[in-house]
Amino acid sequence: MATAKPTIPSVWARERTKREQPALSRDRIVSEAVKLLDEEGIDALSMRTLGTRLNAGATSLYRHVANKDELIELVVDEVYGEVRVPEVSDPAQWRAGMTECAHSLRAMILRHPWLVAVLGQVGLADLGPNLGSQHDRMLALFRNAGFEAREAEQALNTLTAYVIGMTTSEASYLSLIARSGLSEQEWVESIRPAAEQAAQDHPHVLEGYVSLRDQDPQVIRDTDFLYGIDRVLDGLATRLPQDPGR
């Protein structure tokens, strides 16, 4: 007797039902799930809660989404569709193109801060239509610049890791401020005395605090993010025989 082939635990590896109820489609479920996550965070997401918001029982949702893991795959792919990847035909503009991608990815994560908590749960995310398309178009930017196929993949992974790493910390920081009920400027000013006092025995740390006293904290975050992008791209540029972007 032939044994059944093991199923791949991913929504993207499962055949989609051809006919869906007009009142409750997968697209509607995903859209409402994103709204729920944006409003209440990842801890609030459950099939029961989502069904209540859609005026449908959890059983109805399971006709379209097998479980919560599949739902997470779907919402991750949905928000990745917001990331802009420019069409860049001139190899000399590869850095500008990748910088725009990095800023767009950062902005998307900050709009949906719950994303950073679930990225480790979507191992087959690249099979999704939006993320797959983004991935291919970003690779095209590196290939057009002159990177070989394998190194283009490595370069993209390096840049993406920087963006996600920086933005994960940034999203946590902004969530903390949001819970305080203060603006970012008010929050920074409220903790400055304690921060500078704590840094009295650490002169280099104190110097950094003092140098930023009168600066807009959002501008500081934007500047720091761009600094890192530029340094990552500087390093990647050394891998090209002649860097078209310098």
- SS3 letters across 201-213: CCHHHHHHHHHCC
Tell me if 224 is assigned to some domain: no
User: How high does pLDDT run on average in the chain?
Assistant: 88
**Residue 11 pLDDT exceeds 70:** no
Alpha-carbon Rg for the chain, nearest whole angstrom, is 22
**89 and 168 part of one domain:** yes
Per the document, the length of the chain is 246
Strand pairing partners for 24?
A: 21
Residue-wise pLDDT for 48-73, tens only, equals 999 999 988 877 888 888 888 889 99
Tell me if 117 is assigned to some domain: yes
The two tokens of residue 11 are: 């929504």
**245 and 167 part of one domain:** yes
**156 and 245 part of one domain:** yes
CA–CA dist 71, 14 (Å, integer): 13
Tell me if 98 is assigned to some domain: yes
**60 and 124 part of one domain:** no
**Residue 242 pLDDT exceeds 80:** no
Number of domains in the chain: 2
CA 53 to chain CA centroid, nearest Å: 25
Strand ranges for the chain from DSSP E? none
**134 and 236 part of one domain:** yes
Tell me if 50 is assigned to some domain: yes
Answer whether 36's CB lies under 8 Å from 71's CB.
no
Residue 31 belongs to domain spanning: 22-66
CA–CA dist 129, 74 (Å, integer): 10
**96 and 125 part of one domain:** yes
**132 and 245 part of one domain:** yes
- Across 18-22, 56-60, 94-98, 192-196, least confident range: 18-22
**61 and 108 part of one domain:** no
**41 and 108 part of one domain:** no
CA 181 to chain CA centroid, nearest Å: 25
Alpha-carbon distance values, 220 to 110, 188, 199 (Å) = 16, 12, 19
Q: Tokens 């310098």, residue?
A: 246
**Residue 17 pLDDT exceeds 60:** no
**56 and 87 part of one domain:** no
- Across 10-24, 59-73, 191-205, least confident range: 10-24
Tell me if 11 is assigned to some domain: no
Tell me if 198 is assigned to some domain: no
**94 and 143 part of one domain:** yes
Q: What is the pLDDT of residue 151?
A: 97
Give every CB contact of residue 214 below 8 A, 6+ residues apart in sequence.
none
Q: What is the pTM for the complete model shown?
A: 0.85
We report the CATH number of the domain holding residue 49 as 1.10.10.60
**119 and 241 part of one domain:** yes
Tell me if 91 is assigned to some domain: yes
